[in-house]
Structure 1
Amino acid sequence: MSASAPRVRQKWRPRIGLIVASALALVACLPLGSVIFFRIYDHQLVRQTEAELIALSAAVAARISADLTASTPVGLRLGPAVRVGEANADGLAPILPRLDLATDAILPPRPDALPAIGSSPLADLGRRLTPELAAIRAATLAGFRVLDTDGVVVAGAGEVGQSLAHLPEVAGALAGEYRSVLRQRNSKRPIPALDSISRGADIRVFVALPVAVDGRVAAVVYASRTPANALKQLYQERYKVGLALLSVLAATTIIGFVFHRTITRPVRALIARTRAIADGDRAALQPLAHHGTAEFAQLSQSFLDMAASLAARSEYVATFAAHVSHELKSPLTAISGAAELLADDVTDPTMTPAQRATFIAGIQANADRLGALVGRLRDLARAETMPTAGACRPAEVVEALRAERPDVTIEATGDLGNCVAMSAETLALVLGHLVDNAAAAGAGRVATSAVQEGDRLFMVVADDGPGISPANRAKIFDPFFTTRRADGGTGMGLAIARAMVATHRGSLDLVDGGKGASFRIVLPMADAAN
């Protein structure tokens, strides 16, 4: 009983349909996945807005510092030392953006200003700066306020004369440090629906920069602006975005249909076909109705070739078994009959010595034939499973045959010196079978010639015997077919020789060659086999 086929280790594996569906879902979700990009982009916009406010505030602060240095107002009180940046290797102290949309808390909207007591010593400066700040606001959309050292607004749109000292960013600037915060934006306009996806959609950036005079705080520039919002533009183009999304879904559907037609359906059909063939349905040995791709067509054809080869092999084994049983039955019947007659003669001796000797000789002859048949069957099995390693030069094998068979003239011509992919022992067995058959048929000369064509060597072995009759030419390679059964022939020699050559990816055929029998052997060259 033959061993069962190895089983594939059972574990979870994704189906092709699942992989295709996942890939298509990923493609379909790419537009939605771009929201992550918008989130990162919003962060960069916040940083950009803070950097622009720092630059504008620094310009305004320089303007205020120059005015206060040139003409110090009466009652001006300087605050703590200014510490807004760290000096680098070039001696500069840049103020870098610090806000992080991912980690910094978004504070509530900016509280209203509180009443202030008394007048500010920077009131005149504030009146001079108000037109300039209005012009800057109109050009940059940034709101500016100038505060004195008590946190009282002296210039800006509204809130002049009121205090913002209670704001944490202003308090930090009054202490001599640069501060920036994110606050929810007060807006009278409706917020677009898509803005709810982004944390940066409804915020405003506030920066507070101290103005330095003699290295101490003389005023504070308080600026704010709403950063640009990528999702706002997306919302404004929502109809175009919807059309693009529908286009993506349509393209995804088309891709899914193509995948189904070219991959999923052929795979399922091929699986169903393999199961049908495994169940013994010979009608399933037909090409698929739809292959989808060239690779699946090749795979299907390879599978059909393999299945057809296995089916042919199965039929060959069944036919071969029938032949074997027939060939073994005849000598066994003869042996059994002779043995019964000899056994009867023991109890009732009526057989002459000559008759007894004839029966014993028949038993011996049939036993020898059984032994020869068993030996040939073993040789055939070994020929079909023998190793294919090795290489040799046919000229050397022919020379060895000449020494072993001096009764036959063996001639050699052509490219027999080239190396073929077959061991010398195997080639000697193949050529030996042909020479033995030629000698048994009465031939006295065997001519061996060879011609190399590409990666193959074509050898022709021809004898000068009587040849093979037309009626027997189609059957000489059939196992157990022989015209010399009376002489002990088993009819296995040529079958064994052909099996040996086929194992080495070659062929052995009978060809027309004149008077005697001619055989053509095709073998791969040693270099081609490697």
Structure 2
Amino acid sequence: MTPDRPKHNLLPELSLRTWLLGSHLLVLLLPLLALVGTGALAMDLRRQTRVDLEHQADVLTVLAAEMLAAAPAESAESAELSELGQRFDPLLIDIGARTLASVRIVNTDAQVVASSAGDQLDEFDMSHDEVVVAALRGRTGVATRDRERSTERQPLSSPSRRARVRLFIAKPIYSSPGSSPGSSPGSAAAEPGEPEIIGAVLLSRTPREELQALYHMSPRLIWGLLFALLTTIALAVFAGRLATRSLESLADAARRITHGSGSEGAKLLRSAGSHVDEVRALATATAAMAEQLQSRVEYINEFAGNVAHEFRTPIATLRGTAELLRDDEDMAPAQRKRFLDNALDELERLERLVDGLLALARAEQPHGGGKVVLADLLAALPERWPEVRVTSPQPSAAVEGSATQLATVLDNLIDNAYAHAGPEVEVEVVGLAPGPEGTGFEVIDNGPGVSAANRTQIFDRFFTTNREQGGTGLGLALVRRIVETHGGTIELDSATGRTCMRVWLPVADD
């Protein structure tokens, strides 16, 4: 049965390989998206365009100054820049055609004297342009201005630029080539030989659009992206196989365990050898769970068999008694009483078995995790067992667990000593000081001891040598189970005249 999908989960249910492939492809696209989405590529394209324009402006300023210096003067004074406009026009038109840049040369009055567009000079007054004004004052003028958007955009393959802005660069032209661009403009009062600003060169150009730049890079970029795509897919497939191989093994083992196969623990442990830490941790935890489930199944099967065996005898006795009483109406009263007494004895035995099984089941549950001081636990014994000699440990320690269950351990051990050694036996409880093995207590009696044949099964469920006196064989089994659920151990040390049950429990953390 497939579990219902949570309503709040909006993500599709896909395989791990698909998620890995998708995430790897997204990571592959992230640099490109970041390059375009953050505007970094656009800024770099503008920077490149500005650098190109500045280089062209530097060349043109030097060229204009040299052409002016070489021009024949009609008077004693040097020729003016305005007089060279017609000589500059063919050069600027050629530059504009080759570089797609707009080039203009202005004089000191900010009037255009030459242009790459061949415009009429009397129609161009640049005195209102802050870029030109900055250049005529001896600085480099720079501006980025929005373009007028046309309804028809150029295709990506066109040499025309598609960006929404246009860059403007203006640099001053000095009367002497090689003069410092930072020098102040000349004037009529300037000293002889001092460079003076005689005009400026203005260039403008539209930078490439991001998509246009990517299009022109596509011949090489496609091969690089193809290689990166294939590498990404290969890595995603490899990572998916690496991660899902052990997960598929775990899923297969879990399905087999669900269908009753309990031999998958080794396979799960082999899956724990994955190169992925999380998968290895999951496999280890699942293997431990499978082993625990298998152990629990074996425990339940054995337990059910023991219970069936123990219940079969009293039930058979009760059934036989009921049939005899039903069939023999003329049975003598004394015989009838004897049969009824036997039936009551069997009912009492069943009641003790049920009580013992319930106590054993409660011992399987978590004990709560409180702290129990061993000295306090032993100090309460004389109220229940006044004839038992108690020696508390020095120093005393605390253990993690249930005081009620640990008191049950003491009561069952003491009761077992009296039940098997007789009422005249002397019983002593000695507390154990904390040490490397933990802390705990010993229940010692001076009875006849436990035979060698019985020592290996004395803590087994339903094992008893006192069945005629009503023993169920659950007392010591309950003791062992409680001790084990508290993380401890129980030991038997028995010889003729002395039997010692020793319980070790881990010391609680401070």
- 1:488 maps to 470
CA positional deviation for 1:164:
6.1
Residue type at the aligned position of 1:331? P
Please state how far the C-alpha of 1:433 moved relative to its aligned partner: 0.5
1:263 aligns with 2:219: no
Which amino acid counterpart does residue 457 of structure 2 have in structure 1? K
Quote the residue 1:511 is aligned against.
Answer: 492
* AA at the equivalent of 1:126: S
Report percent identity of matched pairs: 31
Contact 2:444 2:499 in 1 (8 A): yes
Q: Please say if 1:24 is aligned against 2:24.
A: yes
Gaps of 5+ in 1: 65-122, 185-190, 213-218
Whether 2:481 is the aligned partner of 1:499: answer yes
| Partners of 1:449 and 1:8 in 2: CA distance | 56
Query: In 2, distance between residues paired with 1:386 and 1:150?
Result: 98
Cα distance 1:379–1:243, how it changes in 2: closer, same or farther (>3 A)? same
Between stretches 251-260 and 372-381, larger displacement belongs to 251-260
**Once the 2 structures are TM-superposed, how far is the Cα of residue 418 of structure 1 from its aligned partner?**
0.8
2:104 alignment partner in structure 1: 145
Q: Which residue of 1 aligns with 2:281?
A: 298
1:489 Cα offset (Å):
0.8
Q: Assess, with a 3 A threshold, how the Cα gap between structure 1 residues 366 and 357 changes in structure 2: closer, same or farther.
A: same
Give the secondary-structure state (helix, strand or coil) at the position aligned to 2:455. Answer: coil
Contact 2:437 2:504 in 1 (8 A): no
**Quick check: 237-246 or 355-364, which moved more?**
237-246
Corresponding position: 1:473 with 2:452: no
Structure 2 counterpart of 1:333, from 316, 324, 336: 316
Structure 1 position 395, deviation (Å)? 2.3
**Alpha-carbon contact 2:21-2:233 (below 8 Å) kept:** no
Partner secondary structure for residue 486 of structure 1: coil
Match of 1:127 among 83, 95, 98: 83
Distance, in Å, in 2 between the alignment partners of 1:304 and 1:194 is 65
1:224 matched residue in structure 2: 203
| Counterpart Cα distance in 1 of 2:5 and 2:490 | 41
CA offsets 1:319-370 (integer angstroms, 9 cap, x no match): 222222222221222223233333444x32x52x443332232122112112
**Which residue in 2 is equivalent to 1:401?**
381
**Structure 2 SS opposite 1:479:** coil
Letter of the structure 2 residue corresponding to residue 42 of structure 1: A
CA deviation profile, 1:19-41 (whole Å, cap 9, x unmatched): 21122212333564465179533
Q: Which residue of 1 aligns with 2:426?
A: 444
What amino acid is aligned across from residue 452 of structure 1 in structure 2? Answer: P
Is the CA contact (8 Å cut-off) linking 2:489 and 2:504 kept in structure 1?
yes
- 1:478 aligns to what SS in structure 2? coil
Residues 394 and 416 in structure 1, CA contact (< 8 A), matched pair in contact too: no
Out of 435, 438, 459, which is 2:414 matched to? 435
8 Å CA contact 2:102–2:205 kept in 1: the answer is no
Task: State whether structure 2 residue 355 is matched by structure 1 residue 379.
Answer: no
CA distance in 2 between counterparts of 1:453 and 1:374 reads 38
Q: 1:308 to 1:36 in 2, by over 3 A?
A: same
| Amino acid corresponding to residue 511 of structure 1 in structure 2 | L
| 1:412 equivalent in structure 2 | 391
| CA-CA distance at 1:303 after TM superposition | 0.9
Q: Which amino acid aligns with 2:295?
A: A
> Aligned with 2:267: secondary structure?
coil
Moved more, 15-24 or 235-244: 235-244
- 1:182, CA displacement in angstroms? 6.7
The alpha-carbon distance between structure 1 residues 342 and 283, as it changes in their structure 2 partners (threshold 3 A), is closer
Deviation readout 1:461-489 (Å, 9 max, x if unpaired): 33322222222223222222111111011
Cα pair distance change 1:417/1:429, threshold 3 Å: same
- Cα displacement (A) at 1:490: 1.0
**Structure 1 CA distance for aligned equivalents of residues 373 and 262 of structure 2:** 44
Q: Which residue of 1 aligns with 2:260?
A: 280
CA distance in 1, matches of 2:122, 2:342: 131
CA contact (8 A) 1:482 1:489 kept: yes
Equivalent of 2:113 in 148, 151, 154: 154
Alignment partner of 1:286: what SS? helix
- Give the aligned residue type for 1:127: E
Aligned mates of 1:181, 1:32 — CA distance in 2 = 27
1:237-286 CA-partner distances (Å, limit 9, x unpaired): 88876675466446535533541343122222212221221122234333
Give the letter aligned to residue 427 of structure 1: L
C-alpha distance 343-31 of structure 1, shift in aligned 2 (>3 A): closer
Q: Distance in 1 between matches of 2:159 and 2:460?
A: 85
Paired with 1:205 and 1:386, the residues of 2 have a C-alpha distance of 78
Deviation track 1:1-27 (CA, whole Å, cap 9, x = no partner) reads: xxx999774754454222211222123
Amino acid at match of 1:498: R
In 2, the alpha carbon distance for the partners of 1:31 and 1:404 equals 78
1:307 to 284, 290, 297: 290
Distance 1:430 1:486 in 2: 23
Separation in structure 2 between the aligned mates of residue 246 and residue 509 of structure 1, nearest angstrom:
69
Give matches, 1:64-75, under 5 Å.
Answer: none
Structure 1 Cα separation of the partners of residues 309 and 2 of structure 2: 31
Work out whether residues 163 and 209 of structure 2, in 8 Å CA contact, stay in contact via their aligned partners in 1: no
Q: What is the Cα-based RMSD across aligned positions, in Å? A: 4.9
Counterparts of 2:306 and 2:2, CA distance in 1: 28
Separation (CA, whole Å) in 2 of partners of 1:250 and 1:455: 60
TM norm structure 2: 0.69
Q: Which whole-Å CA distance do the structure 1 matches of 2:350 and 2:2 have between them?
A: 34
Letter of the aligned partner of 1:341 in structure 2? L
Output the CA distance in 1 between the equivalents of 2:337 and 2:395. Answer: 51
